[in-house]
Chains A and B, each alone.
Chain A
Amino acid sequence: MTRITLGGAVLRGTVSTALMASLISAPALAAAPVDLSKWSPEYVRSIAGTQDFDTSADCAKVTPLDYKGRLTFWYQGVFEGDPDLLRQYYKDFFETFRKTYPNIQLEEQALTYNDLLDKFRTALLGNAAPMAVRLQILGGTEFASKGYLEPLKPEDVGYSTEDFWPGAMKAVTWDGVTYGIPTNNETMAFIWNADIFKRAGLDPDKAPATWEDVVKYSKQIHDKLGIAGYGLVARKNAGNTPYRFMPQLWAYGGGVFDEATANPTYQQIELDSPQSKAALQASYDMYVRDKSVPVSALTNQQADNQPLFVAGQLGMMISHPSDYNVMLDLQKKATGTDKDKAQTVIDNMRYGLIPTGPDGKRAVVFGGSNIHILKPEYVEGGKVDEPAAKAIICMWTSPEWSLKMAYAGSNPGNLNGFKTKWMKERLDKIKFLDVTTSMLPYGIPFPALPQSPEIMNIIIPDMLQNALTGAMTVDQAADDAAKKVKDLMGGL
């Protein structure tokens, strides 16, 4: 039997509400289509399937269905770590768009998370960007601040700003102007293998409560069973690294700046604070002192942890609810005794809340993606077909498609997506979805700064690698990273 440690009382308690306030503003709370102050697995279940939406009718009000035009569109698409289910929804979306808008000539291009920013930046330099782009949450501010993006708010495609997570709207806002619309938002959860826990002498149905416990459990698993305990990821230029380290950093009370507070100002650099150093020390203890995590963590990303986990060689990791479907896909592809082994792992897969820091603070990255329209001067040919761009944006950010495109791995950017029948179906089909939605109130957005991609994709992984390889001590690595952030913010 699967038992999930949700900490439901805590979720519905004051801590949850207080953290929620860091994501949302009072006016938004009042007007949101779902009551975010009541957020809990039960509440999400209670609103699922309560409202119907007609996507093509809604989008027809924005761009007539017989509109004739041409659209170039790049998007962060599925990659090797995504389940097959998600691939199918992406195919369905583009097929549906072409049927809905038969006269729009769509030229779409999918790029993986780690390639998109580099390619998009290069295209912008040559004024060869697409007319519309769907970027990771980290990228919007960078391009908005440089003046590449057209102002774009939910109202421009028939929705209301309150239809979206306030935290997500912050990530598309620069200097008071909104430059994009969130397509999906998610928080990850903690995953463990109950069978490994049991064999290592741990309670199989109890997730580690704190990060100290993670370090302890990881060592115990490694010492008793000779396999990796926790799936640490410290690869550079890979989104997986900050998504797994920042929750740890914030839980310890650290941060890059004050991004974990309710009203961040990003003025004070906190990477070299004792709290941040304690978080880094925990990673050091697992990698260097205890050798209880994969040695390949420095070159690995989450997609490399998945086969380790399904092979029963990894005890714990942080990831999306989609990892359960990924495990099912991997199990299907396994042969002989490997198939049975994988099934045992799947049967013993457990999801729980991400552990807290020493002071009881729980945090997770508030992730997701946004969709934007480019200014004509940066687009190939110098023209942007705005009605065509708005048509695809309206469709992707609709309650229906923002849910379907996030079916296995994320959550709808449009909060109305939680009310659809597909959400109801999803709650039944996607195991452990409750746990990841329960993490949403603990979500902290990356700093809404143009420098964030460099900080998260290069400076943070560099700090980890410097400490974990012994190139620097923990203190030196943290100080070095803080200096790099300072230089970066100073325009160097």
Chain B
Amino acid sequence: MTIVTGKAEARRRLQPGRSGALRKIWEHRADYGYVLPAIAVMLIVIAYPIYYTVELSFFKTPPGLQLRDKIFIGFDNYAAILTSEVFWKVTLNTLIWTIGSTFFSFVLGFAAALALHRDFVGRGVLRAILIIPWVISAVAASYIWKWIYHSDFGIIGAVLVGLGLADRPPNFIDNVSTVLPSLIVVNIWREFPFAMIMMMAGLQTVPDQLLRAAEVDGANAWQRFWHVTFPHLRNVSTVTILLLAVANFNSFIIPWIMTGGGPSNASHIWITHIYELAFGRQRWGVASAYSVLLFLMLMTLGYFYVRALAGNERKEGSA
């Protein structure tokens, strides 16, 4: 039985015909009040820039004019992007960069996590050492790797020549064929510790009893991994891969510092290309259209990320 107080009844009468959603909001008005400042800040620093970027993507911004003198051209920027050769080249680079970096960072991180999951002397020290690339500033790492790769007096080249394995230092970043794989190696080096930490956390959730039971049933190491460990890590793997993919899609520092997108645009990915279009060439309209397309792609990835997280929560809730 519901006891209705006079005060509550009066409040109900004040809001006749309120829908379910609005009623819920009203019921939680104090909660919404607490988050209102955060929502206001987000609207200013996130929603407005998104709106402005979308708006700008419909304008032409010639380099000889101020931004306020922009010219409305509808969807022309999008049409120009989708029909340009550079777009497809940069998109292919971005896909190679994102997939290559994500896949190998994950595999290497997972392998490192499996190795460190076992108990052995020096495990703590090794774990700390392996995390170093992740905590080093990306800017510093980029400069260090630029020197390591240097085509004339890089360390790798000097060692190879010194050992008689090469006549002259290999050309890593001044060659259109090798530059992108070389940058991906740097990115993997920097990112695999993140995957390692995530997977190590995931490995700790695999029940020992199940592994022991599988061993008693005669399962070998591979079978135990494939049938017991891996299924338990599926969700954390999904989340790790999605986070890596989003980070790589948005990656800027390594390619920009090491090559600036060159030589001959061979290492330009979306973000570096957008930066050059906007700040180097002042094509704010085209750069905005690129950004909108990138935003849509990342939102799609984000959708899958949220779904994966929700799936995790459902499973944990039903467990």
Residues of chain A whose beta carbon lies under 8 Å from any beta carbon of chain B: 118, 121-122, 125, 142, 145-148, 228, 234-237, 294-299, 308, 313, 450-451, 454, 457-458, 461-462, 465-466, 468-472, 488, 491-492
The complex places the Cα of A145 from the Cα of B173 at a distance, in Å, of 38
For the complex, give the distance between the alpha carbons of A466 and B264 in Å: 5
A148, A228, A450, A457: which contacts B63 (Cβ < 8 A)? Answer: A450
B176, A471: Cβ atoms under 8 Å? yes
How many angstroms between the C-alpha atoms of A472 and B150 in the bound complex? 24
Given contacts A146-B66, A471-B176, contact A454 B281 (CB under 8 A): yes
Q: Is there contact, CB below 8 Å, between A118 and B279?
A: yes
In Å, the complex CA distance between A451 and B65 comes to: 11
Shortest beta-carbon distance from B84 to chain A in Å? 11
A469 to B259, CA, bound (A): 14
- In the complex, A462 Cα to B263 Cα: how many Å? 8
* A235:B63 contact, CB within 8 angstroms: no
The answer to whether A295 and B152 touch across the interface, beta carbons within 8 angstroms, is yes
B261 nearest CB neighbor, chain A only: A236
Across the A-B interface, the 5 shortest Cβ-Cβ residue pairs: A295-B151, A471-B264, A298-B263, A296-B151, A491-B62
Question: Would you mind naming 20 contact pairs between A and B with Cβ atoms under 8 Å apart?
Answer: A121-B279, A146-B65, A147-B66, A228-B152, A234-B263, A294-B151, A295-B152, A296-B150, A298-B262, A299-B173, A299-B263, A308-B153, A451-B63, A454-B280, A457-B280, A458-B276, A468-B263, A469-B264, A488-B63, A491-B60
Give the dominant DSSP class at B's interface.
Answer: loop
Contact B146 A299 (CB under 8 A): yes
- State whether the Cβ of B169 lies closer than 8 Å to any Cβ in chain A: yes
**Which of B60, B67, B152, B264 counts the most A-chain CB atoms under 10 A from its CB?**
B264
Interface string of B47-87 (1 = CB under 8 A from A): 00000000000001011111100000000000000000000
Residues of chain B whose beta carbon lies under 8 Å from any beta carbon of chain A: 60, 62-67, 146, 150-153, 169, 171, 173-176, 258-266, 276, 279-282
- Nearest-neighbour CB distance to chain A for B220, whole angstroms, equals 49
Report chain B residues within 8 Å CB of A450: 63-64
B68: min CB distance to chain A, Å:
9
The minimal Cβ–Cβ distance linking B261 to chain A, given in whole angstroms, is: 7
A121 to B263, CA, bound (A): 25
Knowing A454-B281, A457-B280 touch, does A296 contact B152 (C-beta < 8 A)? yes
Query: How distant is the Cα of A234 from the Cα of B174 in the complex, in angstroms?
Result: 10
Determine the residue in chain A with the shortest Cβ distance to B275.
Answer: A118
A468 to B266, CA, bound (A): 13
Given A298-B262, A299-B263, A469-B264, A125-B174 contact (CB < 8 Å):
no
A residues in contact with B259, CB < 8 Å: 299
Q: Are A308 and B152 in contact (CB under 8 A)?
A: yes
Please state if A118 and B262 are interface contacts (CB–CB under 8 Å). no
Q: With a CB–CB cut-off of 8 A, which chain A residues contact B153?
A: 308, 313
* CB pair B280 A148 closer than 8 Å: no
Distance to closest chain A CB from B252 (angstroms): 13
Contacts of A313 in B (CB 8 A): 152-153
Residues of chain A with a CB closer than 8 A to B279's CB: 118, 121-122
For B146, the chain A residues whose CB sits under 8 A away are 299
Chain A residues with CB under 8 Å of B280's CB are 118, 237, 454, 457-458
Given A121-B282, A458-B281, A469-B266, answer yes or no on A296-B64 (Cβ-Cβ < 8 Å). no
- Per the bound structure, the CA–CA distance linking A461 and B264 in Å amounts to 9
A148 and B60 alpha carbons, distance in the complex (Å): 19
How many contacts between A and B, using CB within 8 angstroms?
88
**Most B Cβ at <10 Å: residue of A118, A295, A488:** A295
Q: Which residues of B contact A234 (CB under 8 A)?
A: 263
State in angstroms the CA–CA spacing of A294 and B151 once bound together: 8
- A235–B282 Cα distance when bound, in Å, is 20
B260 touches A295 (CB 8 A): no
Q: Could you tell me the distance between the alpha carbons of A326 and B156 in the complex, rounded to whole angstroms?
A: 27
Q: With a CB–CB cut-off of 8 A, which chain B residues contact A235?
A: 260, 262
- Chain A residues lying within 8 Å of B261, measured Cβ to Cβ, are 236
Question: Across the two chains, which residue of chain A brings its CB closest to B157?
Answer: A295
Docked-complex contact A451 and B262, CB < 8 angstroms: no
- A164 to B62: give the CA distance in the assembly, Å: 32
Q: List 7 extra interface pairs beyond A234-B263, A469-B263, CB under 8 A.
A: A148-B66, A237-B276, A237-B280, A295-B151, A295-B169, A458-B276, A492-B62
Residues of chain B with a CB closer than 8 A to A488's CB = 63
**Chain A residues within 8 Å of B265, by CB:** 462
CB closest residue in chain A, given B259: A299
- B62 partner residues in chain A, CB cutoff 8 A: 491-492
**A225 shortest CB reach to chain B, Å:** 14
A125: B residues at CB distance < 8 A: 67
Q: How far is the CA of A297 from the CA of B152 in the complex (A)?
A: 9
Q: Pick the contact of B64 from A145, A295, A298 — CB < 8 Å?
A: A145
User: Which residue of B152, B276, B280 has the most chain A CB atoms within 10 A of its CB atom?
Assistant: B152
Q: Which residues of A contact B264 (CB under 8 A)?
A: 462, 465-466, 469, 471-472
When distances are taken between beta carbons in the complex, the residues of chain B under 8 Å from A295 are: 151-152, 169, 171, 174
* Chain A residue at minimum C-beta to C-beta distance from B64: A450
Residue of A nearest to B173 (CB): A299
| Complex CA–CA separation, A234 to B151 (angstroms) | 14
CA distance A147 to B69 in the complex (A): 11
Contacts of A298 in B (CB 8 A): 174, 262-263
A236-B262 contact in complex given A118-B279, A145-B64, A458-B276, C-beta closer than 8 Å: yes
Instruction: Give A145 to B62 CA distance when docked, in angstroms.
Output: 12
CA distance A118 to B275 in the complex (A): 10
Residues of the A chain whose Cβ atoms lie less than 8 Å from the Cβ of B151 = 294-296, 299
Given the known interface contacts A122-B279, A236-B262, A457-B280, the answer about A469 and B64 at a Cβ–Cβ threshold of 8 Å is no
Task: Tell whether, in the assembled complex, residue B258 and residue A299 are in contact, meaning their CB atoms are under 8 Å apart.
Answer: yes
The answer for the CA separation of A462 and B146 in the assembled complex, in Å, is 20
B52–chain A nearest beta-carbon distance, Å: 11
For residue B263, which residues in chain A have a CB less than 8 angstroms away from its CB? 234, 298-299, 465, 468-469, 471
Which of these, B64, B66, B169, B266, contacts A451 with CB under 8 Å? Answer: B64
In the complex the two chains form, what is the Cα distance from A458 to B175 in whole Å?
18
> In the complex, what residues of A have CB within 8 A of residue B65's CB?
146
Docked CA distance A177–B176 (Å): 45
Contact yes or no, A491 B64, CB < 8 A: yes
Chain A residues within an 8 Å CB radius of B282 = 121, 454
Q: Is the CB of B260 within 8 A of A454?
A: no
